[in-house]
Every structure is written in structure tokens, then in C-alpha cells.
Amino acid sequence: TNKIILDSDPGIDDVMAILFAEAHPAIELKAITTVYGNATIENGTRNALFLKQKYGFNADVVKGADKPIVRDPVGPTIVVHGETGLGDVHAPTDLTLSADPRPAYQYIIDSVKAEPGEITLVAVGPLTNLALALEAAPEIAGLVKEVVVMGGAFGMNDHRGNVTPYAEANIHDDPHAADIVFTAPWPVVVIGLDVTEESFFSKDYLDQLRDDAAEVGQFIWDISRYYLKFYSEKVGLEGCHVHDPSAIAYVIDPSLFTLREGPIRVVTDGPAEGLTIQKFDERKYQHDDWGMNPAQKVGVGVRDEALLKLYRETI
Ligand code: BDR
Ligand code: CA
């Protein structure tokens, strides 16, 4: 099994990913570390605790960063994920469970050091917690099994962003953190927007899940009503893309994805702030400091039918 810490900004598709990870036998969900993003850190953390309480997860819930490292905060994406992050569903404010007392970056450091080579970090929100962990304890880079990120966009079908034409939300929220994470000497796999948008939960797919997957199916259906309204009104699609669950799908079955290797950097300011770029050709230049950065893996294709089947069967 893969022991994972799922770093997330819960978030409707984040919850779809959390439930997927918890349900699949190939994954041991050790913790959900939270980060601002789709919701405020308070709301996102409450959403994670709500899931833990509702479904009896063993996973720890750990509160993380409330703002990016350098840039000004963008603020929660209420139009996509609703006022508190789960659309029309609101986690109770009187939950009996509470978060681990440590900040998320410290929890990550402690966990990785306690089980060297064993832990996969899966990040499906802004990369602030991971960057803070690396800054406080750079040695963890050599102790993590793998880092799997949903974020960025690398240009399949010329697709480079959703919040701006050149930036995807998770990276745009904290481009400096993303650049730290992608250039660190640990193995990173990035599944970007251009690939997650190849997989689509149609309205019918979600209806079927509600009918076949008992209470969990109903819960996913309930939280996704608001999301589908956004998609219908603003994107013009009847259904939603499969962003965050794609990162979990990679951990369960990497053969679902086609990957390309090369160093990755992030544009940290200017009109293309948050743009992710990968150098994947073999050409060498005289002043090629890019070559100094570790080659990381980027998704360039997905077997979407197989991914949808895996999600359905798991839930
Ligand atoms: C990413 O941004 C968030 O809205 C989603 O949860 C996902 O992680 C997609 O750009
Ligand atoms: Ca997310």
C-alpha cells in the first residue's frame, strides 16, 4: 500500500479526491493537511474534520497555511466552491473532533522523518505547506517517496490556465511555493489542468454514482450540485472535470497516465504569473542553469475511460 499525506484545500473536487483515497485499498490515508485556496483555512479545515467525523477516518486532520509565502492572497473561490467550500452543504460548526496541534508543515516533516522513504505527499491545493516544510527541513527531500501534484497546465491542446489564460488556480495562489516544490531534489509528478480536463464527470455519471454508491454516492452528488451549476453557467458544460481525483488515480495506477520528463519552473510575477513551464528537449545551451534543476515528471495524457471506471468502482 501507498502511505499518503493528502495536502488539500477542501473544496468540492478535493472531497471527491479524499473519499477516493480513503476508499481504495492500495492507499493508506495517513493525514489530510489543509491549506487555504478554494475556501478559507478555517472553512477548509472544518470541512476535512467534518469528513473525518462523518466517515470515521483514521487519518489525522492538520491545519496548514492561511496565506501564500510571498504574493498577496487571492482569496477563496466562492463562485466555484461556495461560501464555505462544499457548495450548498455546510459542515456543522460544533464538531467534536479537532485538528492535530501542529502546523501542517511541521506534521509533514515529523511524519516523513518517522518513516523515511515510505510517504507519498499528494498535493491538490496551493503548494504553501510543502514549500514551508522544505524551507524548514530541506533534508526531507531525500526522505519522501514521491510528491504527486494536481496543478499547473503544460500546454496539451494549448491549454495553460483557468484563473488566467496562463495560470491554473493552485499554482496561481502561490507561485513561489510551487517553484520551490518543483525545483527541490525529490521526485515530483505533476498532473496539470490540461490532463485533468480530459476526464469528465458528466451529470449522468454523478446521478449513477448517487444511485449505486449508497450514502457516499449521495454525498458526492449533494456537494457537486453547486459545482455543476458553476460549470453549466460559466463553462458551458453539463458535468465537471476530474481535477483532484486524478492525482489519487495516479497513486493507485500510474499506468493511467503518459508522462514526460524535464525540469519545471514557475513564473512568479508579471502577466504570466503562475505559468508552469517544463524543459523537455535535450538541447543544451551555454548558460543553461535549467539543467541544474532535477528532472520531474509531467502528465501529457490520460486513459480517461479507465480512470472514470476506477473512480466509480472504488466509490
Ligand atoms: C484546482 O483548483 C481548485 O479549484 C480545485 O480544487 C483543483 O485543485 C483546479 O484548478
Ligand atoms: Ca483542490
- Cell reading at 209: 454514482
ipTM of predicted complex: 0.98
- Report the alpha-carbon distance of residue 55 to residue 298 in Å, rounded: 33
What does the pLDDT read at residue 286? 62
- Cell reading at 231: 460549470
- Report the alpha-carbon distance of residue 230 to residue 208 in Å, rounded: 20
pTM here? 0.98
Positions in the chain whose pLDDT score sits under 50:
none
Distances in Å between the alpha carbon of 262 and those of 97, 279, 295? 43, 5, 4
CB atoms within 10 A of CB 96: 7
Q: Which pLDDT tens digit goes with each residue over 141-193?
A: 999 999 999 999 998 888 999 999 999 999 999 999 999 999 999 999 999 99
Task: Please tell me the number of the ligand nearest to residue 79's CA.
Answer: 1
Which amino acid is present at 6?
L
Distance 291 CA to ligand 2 centre (A): 30
Catalytic residue among 24, 81, 241, 243: 243
Residue showing cell 519522501: 144
Give the containing element (helix H, strand E) for 6.
strand 2-8
Whose CA is closest to atom 4 on ligand 1?
A: 38
Residue showing cell 479507465: 306
- Cell reading at 165: 489564460
- The residues with which 150 forms a beta bridge, in sequence order, are 191
Q: In ligand 1, which atom is closest to the CA atom of 11?
A: 6
Residues 6+ apart with CB under 8 A from 288: none
What does the pLDDT read at residue 288? 65
Ligand 1 pocket, residue 46 CB under 6 Å: no
Ligand 1 pocket, residue 243 CB under 6 Å: yes
Ligand 1 pocket, residue 7 CB under 6 Å: no
Q: DSSP string of 68-111? A: -SSSPP----HHHH-SSSSTT----S--S---BSS-HHHHHHHH
What does the pLDDT read at residue 157? 84
Distance 303 CA to ligand 2 centre (A): 21
Strand ranges across the sheet with 257-262? 60-62, 27-34, 2-8, 119-123, 146-150, 188-191, 296-302, 257-262
What does the pLDDT read at residue 283? 76
- The residues with which 250 forms a beta bridge, in sequence order, are none
Ligand 1 pocket, residue 17 CB under 6 Å: no
Residue showing cell 466509490: 315
Distance 136 CA to ligand 2 centre (A): 24
Ligand 1 pocket, residue 197 CB under 6 Å: no
Question: Of 245, 263, 242, 261, nearest to 253 (Cα)?
Answer: 245
- The residues with which 15 forms a beta bridge, in sequence order, are none
User: Is 176 a known active-site residue?
Assistant: no
Ligand 1 pocket, residue 35 CB under 6 Å: no
Distance 195 CA to ligand 1 centre (A): 13
Strands 276-278 vs 27-34: parallel, antiparallel or unpaired: unpaired
Distance 62 CA to ligand 1 centre (A): 20
